[in-house]
Amino acid sequence: MGFFSKIKDAIVGNSAKQNDKYVAGLDKSSSSFSAKINELAARYREIDDDYFEELENVLIMSDVGVSMVMTIIDEIKKEVRLQNIKNPQMINDIIIDKMFVIYANDSYMTTKINYDDQDLTVILMVGVNGAGKTTTIAKLAHMMLSEGKTVMVAAGDTFRAGAIDQLAVWAERLGIECIKGKEGGDPSSVVFDALNQAKDKGVDVLICDTAGRLQNKVNLMNELEKMNRIIKRVVPSGPQETLLVIDATTGQNGVSQAQEFSKITDITGIVLTKMDGTAKGGIVLSIKDTLNIPVKFMGLGESMDDLQEFDLEQYIYGLCKNLMEE
């Protein structure tokens, strides 16, 4: 039995709240993706090379990476031959099945935060300005607080005007401490102060904001290297996570950012923000194909609990829901 057949039984009945968030958050992507594939099936009486060429374009335009599109198309062609399928209307379940299997295969799929039970867990947040980094920090902190953890934040983006105040406001709303320095000051000294205070107070998690000036890569690399050295001096196993925040609405630009940041520092996971604002939800598949870094969280809306741990089944269901209902 393929993923298409299993998913409706496995997902529709389970974790309804999360399922609703994925369905609502991926509505634009699902409507666009399904409409294009159904429109394609309506125009072709049989599956031929022209059909596959257009299906390729639909997947590429949905921000699925080019090399992954080629793999998906090859796998679909094999399955079509094997099952002797002629009618394009019969192909939806195969498309869904192959997208799931190709993402899941040969990958390190953990979406869990690597908490250190013996020491302070340090999370570095990186990403370009405008990706939603500060809001994501607040949402992550909110999620961890709801899990019973104690959290502190460090305003390590000392260069962007207003970044310190923005994080401080979020911290106040959440009732947690924000360690900050002066605008234009040394971000590493802010992180050093935060590490020592978090250790002294026995805090579980310290989330550190960082500057997002990708255009000045040498400075950013030096800054992140210095931060990493300071963290390791205080917390030898840290940072346990370096999460890259990407705005999903930027599409392939976001994938390029991920490539650039992964050259500068070790990225342990991706947070995709504004998934509810894009009609091109295939960016998740593109990131996996290009970098093989796990997507750990998705922003599926604006409220505090709309940051969801990434779930492949829920994601594929949300993306392809309208296809499944055809």
Please give the annotated binding residues for GTP, written as ranges. Answer: 127-134, 209-213, 273-276
What is the Cβ-side half-sphere exposure of residue 200, based on CA atoms within 13 angstroms? 6
Q: How many Å apart are CA 207 and CA 297, to the nearest integer?
A: 15
Q: Do residues 265 and 228 lie in contact, with contact meaning Cβ atoms separated by under 8 Å?
A: yes
Decide if 284 contacts 315 (C-beta within 8 A).
Answer: yes
Looking only at the bridges linking them, the beta strands covering 269-273 and 205-209 are unpaired
Instruction: Give me the DSSP letters along 141-181.
Output: HHHHHHTT--EEEE----SSTTHHHHHHHHHHHHT-EEE--
Torsions phi, psi for 280 (to 5 deg):
-120, 70
Burial class (CB in 10 A: 0-12, 13-18, 19+), 215: exposed
The string of DSSP codes covering 262-314 is HHHS---EEEEE-GGG-S-TTHHHHHHHHH-PPEEEEE-SSSGGGEEE--HHH
Between CA 24 and CA 48 the distance in angstroms is 34
Are 124 and 210 contacting, i.e. CB atoms less than 8 angstroms apart? Answer: yes
Spatial distance between the Cα atoms of 145 and 164, rounded to a whole number of angstroms:
21
Q: Choose among 155, 221, 217, 210: nearest CA to 182.
A: 155
CA distance 122 to 214: 22
Please give the annotated binding residues, written as ranges: 127-134, 209-213, 273-276
